[in-house]
Amino acid sequence: MDETNMIPPQNPGTGRTIARHKAKLAACAAIVAVLGAGAVLAAEKPAPNALMTPVVDLSTPARTEQAVPSFANLVERVKPAVVSVFVKAEEVDQVSNPFSGGQNPFEGTPFQGLPFQFGPQSGQGKPQTHLMQAQGSGFFISADGYLITNNHVVEHAKSVEIMTTDGKRYKAKVAGTDPKTDLALLKVAGSNDFPYVRLATKSPRIGDWVVAMGNPFGLGGTVTAGIVSANGRDIGSGPYDDFIQIDAPINKGNSGGPTFNQNGEVVGVNTAIFSPSGGSVGIAFDIPAETVKYVSEQLRDSGHVTRGWIGVSIQPVTADIADSLGLKEAKGALVDEPQDGGPAAQAGLKSQDVIVSVNDHEIKDGRDLARTIAAVKPGQQITISYIRNGEKHSLDLNVGQYPDGKSAQNTPSTDDDFKLGMTLAPANEVDGAGTHGAVVMNVDPEGTAAEKGIQQGDVILSVGGKSVSGPGDVKRALKEARKDSKRAVLMQLKTAQGDRFVAVPTTREG
């Protein structure tokens, strides 16, 4: 009997609907079976029925080759230049004795009388040194054996070895490193015909296809593809952050590997990922080729990077700041405080000046200024345009050389006016401190700061509810609080244990 004849006559369309649904369910079940088993199953063709519409026509390809790009030719061409990097580095562990001082940890328990030994024993509490192994990726940039990787891959290396895609191994030397951009240049000797790739001369556009290559989890020679998700990302790793964000899967071991455009040019170096789990979640960050070129050339010539410096701490121009200064747009870099004796101070730049251009290059924000000045050769003269009291001015100054190490320690800002007993420095000029706030460089053990529990390395994030970007902001916030007759003000600190607030006095002491 035909099942459709069992449907009440007052609803003749229902029979067709049920038959259609059953056909769809049968087709879907067949598709699920194919996908789950990973094999092609043969099925009997259903009886012809003009009322049945196939859910999926398996005889027609879902996508054509023109719709989905193939990177096979690109990969075949550039893969020989990509290498796996293996590093042996020395690591020192500080071994501490939890029972030092002779105290019985079982005091007051039934075990307190047992003959345990407490206090440091022979050979305990001494630093222990061992070799650790690390791995990453890299790529040749010249036929004579120079290759690029990340600084964090070869940091503290005792020995470095690379392996090419055909399995050949070579010893490599670290020719130079630049921690501020997390780049390192390696040199492999013994040949002048290494396959190499070129750095792109143009930045990729958002939405462009890219291919990432490297040594994830030690597997070697792995290729992933995706698109450029964003440009100019600041992830808080240093003052020169300008990362390309891509969604090509990047994992541990990919660090230092190249990301290619469709022309086979390197657009970036795989450096960091955002991941709650430690694995790829589709958010990865690359150092742009422009930065790689600038850094690698200096590392090849001298083994280190020399950067320009004008001696200012800066902060971004927000919409509120733009309104208060009479600016039409929230662009430029606000001078927080010129460092005494620095090129900017000597040339006449003052606090609250807004730098809007350098040599006719428009300055978008503080990071743009930092990168622009860093790229200038020390000793070269530049023209800076700035806005002061609503009027545009310009001046010429000779760029200095960025001091070695933590430059802020060379010209610390003190809080003598408030006698808190600490020296401060802009966070964006102290390695590892981030881009916002004022870092506590030194603390007087007898001062008010020490009494409040403030320690060296703490970062002041805000004072009196106002965010700070450097020592000048801290001083101004304290002065405003004193002007408002406040005897104390809350100071937000970022510490090793997390953020916390302390109340510091605004009145002079001593």
Catalytic residues: 152, 182, 255
Measure the CA–CA gap between 489 and 471, rounded to whole angstroms.
16
For residue 146, what are the β-bridge partners?
A: 187
Measure the CA–CA gap between 460 and 440, rounded to whole angstroms.
7
Measure the CA–CA gap between 4 and 11, rounded to whole angstroms.
11
Handedness of CA 51, 55, 60, 62 (dihedral sign): positive
Grouping H, G, I as helix, E, B as strand and the rest as coil, residue 406 is coil
Bridge-based pairing of strands 157-163 and 146-150 is: unpaired
Q: Which residues are CB-neighbours of 282 under 8 A, at least 6 positions away?
A: 226, 247, 249
Grouping H, G, I as helix, E, B as strand and the rest as coil, residue 307 is coil
The residue type found at 423 is T
Per-residue HEC secondary structure of 325-357 comes to HCCCCCCCEEEEEECCCCHHHHHCCCCCCEEEE
Which of 78, 81, 85 lies closest to 211 in space, CA to CA? 78
Torsions phi, psi for 50 (to 5 deg) = -65, -20
Q: Give, in order, the Cα–Cα distances in Å from 129 to each of 64, 89, 94, 123, 174.
A: 58, 10, 9, 13, 22
Q: Which residue is listed with tokens 């890219």?
A: 210
